[in-house]
Amino acid sequence: MTDRNNLLKNKPLLIAGPCSVASRKQILKIGQEVKEAGAHAIRAQLWKPRTSPGSFQGVGKKGIPWIKELKALTGLPIAMEMMSPEHVGLVEDVADVLWVGARNMQNYELLKRMKNDPRPVILKRGLIATIKEWIGAAEYIGRDRVILCERGIRTGADSMRFTLDFNSALVAKHDHKMPVIVDPSHTAGRRDMVPRLSLAAIAAGLDGLVVETHYNPEEELVDKSQTISTKVFSELVKQINNLNVSKEN
């Protein structure tokens, strides 16, 4: 079984995959390519919280067999977002890492359900959540199983989709002794900035990244403007590895 300590032995932890699973062919191809590029885990979202009810909501339960095949094909852990307490049990055999999105950070019934599950949990920060609220949400699950994820917050700035709050990420890591990864895709909202923000996060000493990646970003059904290609992801991994070597030297 995957646990938080094993995941975090990867320095930095690199999680990549599409914003949303769209088909068997899509997720298997992306999974193979991000593994070859150097990802340590694959993001594979079957359910998607969307602002508009008319937007693509994810393939749901029908994608579970595809994820089983993905696990067998790549051997990598699968990180999957949970939208409701019922989802946690549905993916018991396929999701190695549970995921709480920004909109569900204060969905306390979901957090309570995860407390009784042994799997590690990625907990994204809410859109305007304070550090106290973020850490409090982690305590519902159990701090020893949570990996915090800074994904940008809403501020008065409009230069990108959200504002990547390095201040809070560093406070959560150093003052609260929590592992913190960064989602550069959602904070940027534009793919050209994703590698730059990724390198900044690693240079700041944070614990990893979760990056939206597709072999052809224009085919992505959700958030294609912020999705980088698997080729760009591969180059980014090389840059991160070089950055780590420079830091060690």
- What pLDDT was estimated at residue 79? 98
Over range 196-219, report the average pLDDT: 97
Task: Assign residue 32 the CATH number of its domain.
Answer: 3.20.20.70
pLDDT of 222 strictly over 90? no
Which of the four pLDDT bands, split at 50, 70 and 90, describes residue 247?
low
Question: Which 3 state secondary structure label does DSSP give 155?
Answer: coil
137: tokens are 């949400």
pLDDT of 249 strictly over 60? no
38: tokens are 């150097």
What pLDDT digit, counting tens, does each position of 58-83 carry?
899 999 999 999 999 999 999 999 99
Confidence (pTM) = 0.95
- Work out whether the CA dihedral 110, 115, 118, 123 comes out positive or negative: positive
Please return the burial class of 57, using the count of CB atoms within 10 Å of its CB with bins 0-12, 13-18 and 19+. middle
pLDDT of 50 strictly over 90? no
- What pLDDT was estimated at residue 235? 98
Residue with tokens 């595809």: 66
Q: How many structural domains is the chain composed of?
A: 1
168: tokens are 């809070």
The torsion angles phi and psi of 180, rounded to 5 degrees, stand at: -135, 125
pLDDT of 244 strictly over 80? no
Where is 149: in which H helix or E strand? strand 146-150
At a CB cut-off of 8 Å and minimum separation 6, what does 35 contact? 42, 74, 76
What pLDDT digit, counting tens, does each position of 77-133 carry?
999 999 999 999 999 999 999 999 999 999 999 999 999 899 999 999 999 999 999
Query: Across the chain, what does the average pLDDT equal?
Result: 94
Structural domain of 228? 4-248
What pLDDT digit, counting tens, does each position of 16-33 carry?
999 999 999 999 999 999
pLDDT of 193 strictly over 60? yes
pLDDT of 245 strictly over 70? no
At a CB cut-off of 8 Å and minimum separation 6, what does 23 contact? 59, 66
What pLDDT digit, counting tens, does each position of 155-167 carry?
999 999 999 999 9
Task: Return the percentage of the chain with pLDDT > 70, whole number.
Answer: 96
- What pLDDT was estimated at residue 223? 85
